[in-house]
Amino acid sequence: MTAARDQIIETACGLMESQGFHATGLNQIVKESGAPKGSLYYYFPQGKDEIAEAAIARAGSATAQRITASLAELDDPAKAVSAFVGAIAHHVEASGFRSGGPLMTIAMETAATNTRLNLACRAAYQQFQAAFEQKLIASGFSAERAAALAVFILSAIEGGIILSRTYHSGDPLRRVAAELGALLHAASRR
Amino acid sequence: MTAARDQIIETACGLMESQGFHATGLNQIVKESGAPKGSLYYYFPQGKDEIAEAAIARAGSATAQRITASLAELDDPAKAVSAFVGAIAHHVEASGFRSGGPLMTIAMETAATNTRLNLACRAAYQQFQAAFEQKLIASGFSAERAAALAVFILSAIEGGIILSRTYHSGDPLRRVAAELGALLHAASRR
DNA sequence: GTCTATACGGTGATAGAC
DNA sequence: GTCTATCACCGTATAGAC
């Protein structure tokens, strides 16, 4: 509950989102967070992995809540997903393509090299997936179809973020928004 | 054209695909490649960035060719894309989730922090995109629609690779294969 | 709890012999 | 072309004072 610990986690989230895990140094976290320098290993005795794990958990649940909240703003699931992805496009652009997909880089870096962080990322993505799934179920999709579509939606969004960040343009994400909207519109008319 | 230089590039591709850019050390590249140690800065005077740039270019054109070749095996674009993505799923699983999406990690790591590598990744992704685009055009899609769909297809695949690698399961990619197949099937019936 | 100082390893990069 | 030796630096992690 201490503010210093929380500051460390928060800035670790931001730095790892834009740079990845390996490029983010502990010194950088301490400096940028303004947290007391000597307290890093007091709050996180297990070092960098423990900090990253906390950052992943934090970014994961925060993002999951944001997905749920955004999807709740529109009844129509097609329009809700499309609007959500459009908002991401804007966010990625506004950040100078430094932000968006808070866990993607860490997830890729650690998928096969760090089981602890891999499991943390996995848990977070499952939360994202569940958020889409529940929206679809609430919109009348069968549980089975909702689960399948949630995976596909999440895939398209994550991939769109990659392309938008490397192209330095929100267009790929806007394309994903349009296609997912059309797909869900057609699927819900059955 | 020398074999040593080529070996360095090739193993740099593999290591950066599974670990990312920052986690891959030059010593590791030299050791794993078996290339003569002292020749690293002889072939790549500009150091790590130059090696990574060459690795990205190599992986990029190799992958683009593989996409084109795979899509050419089936006439029906829906089935061709679906089969291609299914093959990726198998490849990701067979590699122990260390491989797949050769440029994704580097692309995310460097999108906003290293313009040189960012541009290299961008060029590579545009090749991938063009490969899908041309298949769709050859299948009767309008140029406009083909370009839009290519971005979406590439996004879904890249995102599916992320999920499959972090979940340690080929299922997300197989889901992407099925949904893209259905989408393209419906789109081509217009 | 927080500080400063430091140990220790690995990194990218360079120099100079052969 | 390739080798070995070495540089300066930065990374994580630790020790011990306050």
- What would the pLDDT profile of A126-135 be if each residue is shown by its tens digit? 999 999 999 9
Interface test with B, best of A155, A165, A171, A176 (most B CBs within 10 A): A155
**Whole-angstrom Cα distance, residue A141 to residue A135?**
9
Check B162 against A122: CB less than 8 A apart: no
| Closest-CA residue of chain B to A148 | B175
Distance between the alpha carbon (CA) of B10 and the C1' atom of D2, Å: 20
- Protein-covered nucleotides of chain C (CB closer than 7 Å) are 1-4, 10-17
Task: List the one residue out of B39, B164, B13, B90 whose CA is nearest residue A118.
Answer: B164
Determine the structural domain holding residue A165 and report its residue range: 3-188
**Whole-angstrom Cα distance, residue B176 to residue B68?**
19
Model confidence over A74-118: pLDDT tens digits? 999 999 999 999 999 999 999 999 999 999 999 999 999 999 999
DSSP character for B88? H
Q: What residues of chain B lie within 8 A of the CB of A107, using their CB?
A: 162, 165-166
User: Helices B3-19 and B26-33 meet at what angle, rounded to 10?
Assistant: 120
- Which residue's C-alpha is at the least distance from the C1' of D11? A25
Does residue B70 carry a pLDDT above 90?
Answer: yes
Check A162 against B105: CB less than 8 A apart: no
Does residue B146 carry a pLDDT above 90?
Answer: yes
**Of A139-148, B39-48, B73-82, B108-117, which range is least confident?**
B39-48
What percent of chain B is modeled with pLDDT above 90? 94
- Number of structural domains found in chain A: 1
Q: Is the CB of A31 under 7 A from strand C?
A: no
- Does residue B25 lie in a domain region? no
How many interface pairs between A and B have CB atoms less than 8 angstroms apart? Answer: 155
Q: What count of other Cβ atoms lies within 10 Å of the Cβ of residue A38?
A: 8
* Residue B66 belongs to domain with CATH number: 1.10.357.10
Model confidence over A20-77: pLDDT tens digits? 999 999 999 999 999 998 899 999 999 999 999 999 999 999 999 999 999 999 999 9
Model confidence over B114-140: pLDDT tens digits? 999 999 999 999 999 999 999 999 999
Does residue B1 carry a pLDDT above 70?
Answer: no
**Nucleotide in closest CA–C1' contact with B36:** D2
- Protein-covered nucleotides of chain D (CB closer than 7 Å) are 1-4, 10-17
Residue found under tokens 């399961």: B169
**Mean pLDDT over all residues of chain B?**
96
The whole model's pTM is what? 0.97
- Does residue B163 lie in a domain region? yes
At position B66, the amino acid (one-letter code) is R
Q: What residues of chain B lie within 8 A of the CB of A25, using their CB?
A: none
Q: H helices within chain A, ranges in order?
A: 3-19, 26-33, 40-43, 48-71, 77-94, 104-110, 115-138, 143-167, 171-188
In this prediction, residue B2 carries a pLDDT of 87
Check A165 against B107: CB less than 8 A apart: yes
Does residue B38 carry a pLDDT above 90?
Answer: no
How would you label A177-187 residue by residue, b for 16+ Cβ within 10 Å and e otherwise? bebbbebbeeb
One-character DSSP codes across A149-190: HHHHHHHHHHHHHHHHHHHTSSHHHHHHHHHHHHHHHHHHT-
For chain A, say whether B122 makes contact (Cβ under 8 Å). Answer: yes
In this prediction, residue B189 carries a pLDDT of 76
Q: Is the CB of B66 under 7 A from strand C?
A: no
